[in-house]
Amino acid sequence: MKNSVSFKIIAASVALALGGCSTVVPSSGVPAAAVPMMSKNNTIAENVQISAAHTMMEKAVSAADLVSTLSSPGPFTVFAPTDDAFSAVPAASMEMLLQPSNKQALQKVLYYHVVAGEVSAKDLMAKIAAGGGKTMINTIAGEQLTATVSGGNVVIIGKNGSMGTVTRADVGQSNGVMHVLDGVLLPTM
């Protein structure tokens, strides 16, 4: 699977200071007023369920039985791939991961997008600066991600050539923070 996954990186600016509630608007042209608002009063799992831009992530979280984990107090930092990010993964690979027999592999992929504790964009930028342009992030999957800045955007780099750009930062959650990502990150499989 690791050699068959291609990734689409979409150029976008990093919004470093979002507060309170945030809306993630789907590329389908649905008016912003029609899209439910993510709320800092909701858990990560609840916000993924109502986000029109994270329907594939919601499906994956449910298939991996991680709703209760992402509803727990945490706090967590989640690099949340959008539907556009998941669409760059070959359909056959996604179908395979969503099969009940591959639940453990799907959990590992999702846990590779989650960090224990709350890491704000400001904290992440400070760590990148202190690290001379990059920093390593420990995920709850037991593997590291690399965070760097390219073209003024925060880029998160995983294994197997996987990476994504943060397109919206600091989306508050009751149990942590979400940074919206335009790529799917792959751990060692």
**What average pLDDT does the segment 13-38 reach?**
34
Q: 152 or 31: which carries more pLDDT confidence?
A: 152
Strand order in the sheet with 134-138: 114-116, 76-81, 176-181, 163-173, 153-157, 144-150, 134-138
Average pLDDT over residues 11-21: 22
120 pLDDT above the threshold of 90: yes
Confidence of residue 40 (pLDDT cuts 50, 70, 90): confident
Quickly state the pLDDT bin for 15 (edges 50, 70, 90).
very low
Q: Are 94 and 124 in contact (CB under 8 A)?
A: no
How far is it between the farthest Cα atoms of the chain?
A: 43
pLDDT at 36: 54
More confident residue, 162 or 3: 162
The token duo for 185 is 């990150």
Give the three-state DSSP class for 180. Answer: strand
Q: Which two tokens stand for residue 106?
A: 């799907």
Closest among 177, 189, 184, 153 to 77, alpha carbons compared? 177
Query: What percent of the chain is modeled with pLDDT above 70?
Result: 80
What pLDDT digit, counting tens, does each position of 56-113 carry? 989 999 899 899 898 898 899 999 999 999 998 888 888 888 999 999 999 999 999 9
Residue 50: the pLDDT is 85
The Cα-based distances of 7 to 90, 101, 184 in angstroms read 9, 25, 7
- What's the burial of 99, exposed, middle or buried (CB within 10 Å: 0-12/13-18/19+)? exposed
pLDDT class of 45 with cuts at 50, 70, 90: confident
Helix (H, G, I), strand (E, B) or coil at 145: strand
20 vs 127, higher pLDDT: 127
Extended beta strands in the chain, E state: 76-81, 114-116, 134-138, 144-150, 153-157, 163-173, 176-181
